[in-house]
A and B are shown apart, each in its own frame.
Chain A
């Protein structure tokens, strides 16, 4: 286990998200509070429909909470406009999806550089750093390929590289092994562990794959909109 710095980079307080269903309000998240510190790998467990993806959407700023606070160091996300949240996400957050979600018309290299390029022209250093990440996931030789020529595992590795390329504060991963076979999932888990623990990156993984728990510094479980921290040993059962 890596050492744990004391200051949280993410503080979530009293987070509530309700959806309107007909004439009723349905609370998906009911007053969640937790912190994530730099260098931590936190696993979020929960059944389908428990609100894991909703929580990730709120933390990434793709959705806004009904009430509550989401603070990244000095930035209160809930006070930002849609565009400001997007710009914040572009610089501070990297996202890994279950189904990879690479842009089919962009080559591997372009996919990785996407968040950086959306911010404007790239300098040489940025480009080199981003390509170094591709090497980190073992796909430097596929930089010029289009995504449809890659296997599922390779595509997920490119998606991981894309999430890391702009050196974000926090990486969010939503069921990163959900679309992969057992062997490939293991390979991807190794990469995830390495990129967090070797390089002191911070990651929140939402999953119901209990194999990932072994990598976690801390484990949270989301049940019927309520979050509780569980020990890795307890959660493994």
Chain B
């Protein structure tokens, strides 16, 4: 019974753990967005970059609109140049009162004169100050885009509730002037917050926005968190799918454990039948018991899920921070909905998995307490039906994949059908495999080997389920392994041609793959003027509105060597590179084209500093840096349309023969006093990129290991059931002179053979899964073209993993079986 509960608990824990990690990340982001938005209903924002602070003056003074407050948002790193990131919110305390209660207004207990007058003063929650080790008195160091600033704790923010505490966890509040200085945004604002009574949006546009620059837009505050949630949608969905895969493996386990519990009490059930308990009564008795097991297992699973969620949330946050945005999660967001889902899935799948053993038990005649062979005979008769069911499921799976369009959820549904189809084919294959292995093992290990192989066939209904669970778990490991390997190889190849300069320089940013921090003009000038620098081209990453979607625009100067023609997925006719220099032509990355259905020749409406401009798409290029998709524009066109001379990074070519390490050292020393920059060789940047890549898949590795663990328990329970069923046979063997060691060897041979069959079967299924993950799921989630790379080592590992997992699972049952007293097992006679 305990094993059944553990089985249910493991499956539920994985699903709940992932769900909590996903929702916690989303809630933390929403909370921090809502905290800085306060009671604002709308805001004035620039279509790209920042607003001139004159916008606030126009609205507040010229237009006389009272409920407006200027806001600057940014981030700094505390202590060291690579220290923890905190969000900076710059506000005007005199305008804040209707919006947020951080400064408490004129009567809020904070000395506003000092706060506004003493430039480095910050307001911070006590818990945040403690976590970041901020001194109560005196200044502390902070870094913004590699530039050092001094700050000082002015006062502690009042915390009213847990909600407040969570939202203030990663925030420091400064005066607007301080924010402009710290974040190098002199004369600029991130946005102007507004409180517009309901239904007055159109009137506000008409009455108050006419005097504003063209690139100022009116946005709803509530929409901001939705946009960012969309960014991580595919990522979250894929994690959820992986957790459901663990549940599918878990269902096999639940089936086995519930079967085990029925088998264990078969004599008792037989006696109950004999004294007049009807089939229906017994059926409901078993189902009610499954309900209790499901409930107990699900409750344990939810508790386990909370623990697992705490581990996974760190990994999920790391990936989100590397790829999308900075978010800090203090606590798991445990909602009744997440827990309810976990309980429902656990109880539902337990009852579903108990239906076959309940049927099996109630169909057994009262007198047939030990007639296991009857079940095995019916299993043998069911094999043709299973093969046909497999074919039907496979056809359905392919059909769903074919017809599901871009839907990732349906695609996973199709994959699940294919996995189940394969599972249906496993029993006949196991039967054939066991019959093939019998003479082979017999030749090597004698009667012990023959009986080991026969044991698989003899208990096919148990052994095939255990093999299926192990096959699916190992195949999912292989499938994901091959997918990650293929992805990594593709990224590595891509990095080889994408990174062709010798040295790459950028300011430290908060998000590895979306760095829009800028290099100071002084540092840029120093770098470009070094005699050992033969050439350099700049890159600017700016977030702009393209077709009303905030998108990363990558702006590049012409490279000394352009990308090879084969690196473009599609190009317009003619010289599109020249067209990009001379006219309003851009190119888009493959994920962008996929996400928005963009084709070469299409027109994109890009919101420039001077209003919307239509750009034609000249090419679609392969890019693996961003799953959100980016648009690339030449520097010349950017300078024409945007009032933004800054650069986010520099790619440097050294003069021939120059020692790169020496040049890097030279550049570091030369720029140190101006700005702390990441100056990395081509090789180091590639390694750093691959490290981040590997990090993003850590969570997947954890899930793969959990699936194996679930399968391991599955094999263990199958063997425990076999132990009970075969106790009499083993006693006869012991009576005929089989030593305890020989019993152990026979069981280990049987289980290892099951492991070997599972390992061999996992190879084709794993390759099919990898193919589907690469060409269906990845394509539909991100639109990337990946090379399909199969490393033989991964396949060998899969086989080895299955054999070792099975052999390990056999240890306890074989020990227990070899210790069983033959006299006791035979006493029932």
Give the interface of A toward B (CB within 8 A).
53-54, 57, 60, 62-63, 82-83, 86-87, 89-91, 95, 97-99, 101, 103-106, 110, 113-115, 117-121, 148, 162, 174-175
Q: Do B821 and A95 touch across chains, with their CB atoms under 8 A apart? A: no
Known A-B contacts A62-B821, A121-B446; the reply to A104 vs B732 at CB < 8 A is no
Inter-chain contacts of A174 with B (CB < 8 A) = 829
| Other-chain residue from B373, B740, B823 in contact with A62 (beta carbon distance below 8 A) | B823
Q: Do A91 and B737 touch across chains, with their CB atoms under 8 A apart? A: yes
Extra A-B contacts (14), CB below 8 Å, given A105-B451, A110-B447: A53-B826, A53-B827, A62-B822, A63-B823, A87-B737, A89-B737, A97-B732, A97-B735, A103-B729, A105-B458, A113-B447, A117-B446, A117-B447, A121-B446
Cα A162 to Cα B741 with chains together (Å): 22
Known A-B contacts A62-B821, A99-B829; the reply to A162 vs B736 at CB < 8 A is yes
Cα A26 to Cα B823 with chains together (Å): 17
Give the interface of B toward A (CB within 8 A).
373, 446-448, 450-451, 454-455, 457-458, 728-729, 732-742, 821-823, 826-827, 829
Known A-B contacts A53-B827, A105-B455, A110-B447; the reply to A60 vs B735 at CB < 8 A is yes
Instruction: State how many angstroms separate the Cβ of A57 from the closest Cβ of chain B.
Output: 4
Q: CB-nearest residue of chain A relative to B451?
A: A105
Candidate in B455, B738, B742, B829 with the most chain A CB atoms within 10 angstroms: B829
| Other-chain residue from B736, B740, B741 in contact with A95 (beta carbon distance below 8 A) | B736
Inter-chain contacts of B457 with A (CB < 8 A) = 105
Inter-chain contacts of A95 with B (CB < 8 A) = 735-736
| Other-chain residue from B455, B732, B741 in contact with A101 (beta carbon distance below 8 A) | B732
Q: Do A97 and B826 touch across chains, with their CB atoms under 8 A apart? A: yes
Inter-chain contacts of A110 with B (CB < 8 A) = 447, 450
| Other-chain residue from B373, B733, B739 in contact with A103 (beta carbon distance below 8 A) | B733
| Other-chain residue from B450, B732, B737, B827 in contact with A90 (beta carbon distance below 8 A) | B737
Inter-chain contacts of A87 with B (CB < 8 A) = 737, 739
Q: Do A148 and B736 touch across chains, with their CB atoms under 8 A apart? A: no
Candidate in B450, B728, B735, B736 with the most chain A CB atoms within 10 angstroms: B736
- Can you list 5 A-B pairs, Cβ within 8 angstroms, ordered by A? A86-B740, A89-B736, A97-B829, A103-B732, A120-B446
Inter-chain contacts of A98 with B (CB < 8 A) = 829
Known A-B contacts A57-B823, A105-B457; the reply to A119 vs B737 at CB < 8 A is yes
5 nearest A-B residue pairs (beta carbon) = A90-B737, A105-B454, A57-B823, A117-B447, A63-B823
Inter-chain contacts of A91 with B (CB < 8 A) = 737
Q: CB-nearest residue of chain B relative to A63?
A: B823
Inter-chain contacts of B740 with A (CB < 8 A) = 82-83, 86
| Other-chain residue from A54, A86, A117 in contact with B734 (beta carbon distance below 8 A) | A86
| Other-chain residue from B447, B737, B826 in contact with A86 (beta carbon distance below 8 A) | B737
Instruction: State how many angstroms separate the Cβ of A219 from the closest Cβ of chain B.
Output: 22
Instruction: State how many angstroms separate the Cβ of B753 from the closest Cβ of chain A.
Output: 14
**Secondary structure of the A contact surface, majority rule:** helix
**Secondary structure of the B contact surface, majority rule:** helix
| Other-chain residue from B736, B821, B827 in contact with A118 (beta carbon distance below 8 A) | B736
Q: CB-nearest residue of chain A relative to B743?
A: A86
Known A-B contacts A62-B823, A105-B451, A105-B458; the reply to A114 vs B739 at CB < 8 A is no
Q: Do A118 and B447 touch across chains, with their CB atoms under 8 A apart? A: yes
Cα A89 to Cα B740 with chains together (Å): 13
Q: Do A115 and B454 touch across chains, with their CB atoms under 8 A apart? A: no
Inter-chain contacts of A53 with B (CB < 8 A) = 826-827, 829
Cα A223 to Cα B428 with chains together (Å): 54
Q: Do A83 and B741 touch across chains, with their CB atoms under 8 A apart? A: yes
Cα A140 to Cα B315 with chains together (Å): 69
Q: Do A101 and B728 touch across chains, with their CB atoms under 8 A apart? A: yes
Q: Do B455 and A89 touch across chains, with their CB atoms under 8 A apart? A: no
Cα A104 to Cα B373 with chains together (Å): 9
Cα A113 to Cα B735 with chains together (Å): 14
Inter-chain contacts of B373 with A (CB < 8 A) = 104, 148
Q: CB-nearest residue of chain A relative to B459?
A: A105
Inter-chain contacts of A101 with B (CB < 8 A) = 728-729, 732, 735, 826
Inter-chain contacts of B734 with A (CB < 8 A) = 62, 86
Cα A158 to Cα B822 with chains together (Å): 21
Q: Do A115 and B737 touch across chains, with their CB atoms under 8 A apart? A: yes
Instruction: State how many angstroms separate the Cβ of A25 from the closest Cβ of chain B.
Output: 18
Known A-B contacts A106-B451, A148-B373; the reply to A118 vs B738 at CB < 8 A is yes
Cα A175 to Cα B826 with chains together (Å): 13
Q: CB-nearest residue of chain B relative to A91?
A: B737
Inter-chain contacts of A119 with B (CB < 8 A) = 737
Q: CB-nearest residue of chain B relative to A175?
A: B829
Q: Do B829 and A118 touch across chains, with their CB atoms under 8 A apart? A: no
Q: CB-nearest residue of chain A relative to B742?
A: A118
Instruction: State how many angstroms separate the Cβ of B727 from the closest Cβ of chain A.
Output: 12
Cα A185 to Cα B457 with chains together (Å): 33
Inter-chain contacts of A115 with B (CB < 8 A) = 736-737
Q: CB-nearest residue of chain B relative to A121?
A: B446
Instruction: State how many angstroms separate the Cβ of A168 from the closest Cβ of chain B.
Output: 10
Candidate in A86, A90, A103, A106 with the most chain B CB atoms within 10 angstroms: A86
Q: CB-nearest residue of chain A relative to B741?
A: A83
Inter-chain contacts of B821 with A (CB < 8 A) = 62-63
Q: Do A86 and B739 touch across chains, with their CB atoms under 8 A apart? A: yes
Instruction: State how many angstroms separate the Cβ of A231 from the closest Cβ of chain B.
Output: 29
Q: CB-nearest residue of chain B relative to A95?
A: B735
Inter-chain contacts of B736 with A (CB < 8 A) = 89-90, 95, 114-115, 118, 162
Q: CB-nearest residue of chain B relative to A111?
A: B736
Known A-B contacts A105-B451, A114-B447; the reply to A89 vs B735 at CB < 8 A is yes
Q: CB-nearest residue of chain B relative to A179?
A: B829
Cα A115 to Cα B827 with chains together (Å): 21
Cα A76 to Cα B826 with chains together (Å): 24
Q: Do B739 and A104 touch across chains, with their CB atoms under 8 A apart? A: no
Instruction: State how many angstroms separate the Cβ of A49 from the closest Cβ of chain B.
Output: 11
Inter-chain contacts of A103 with B (CB < 8 A) = 451, 729, 732-733
Cα A106 to Cα B746 with chains together (Å): 14
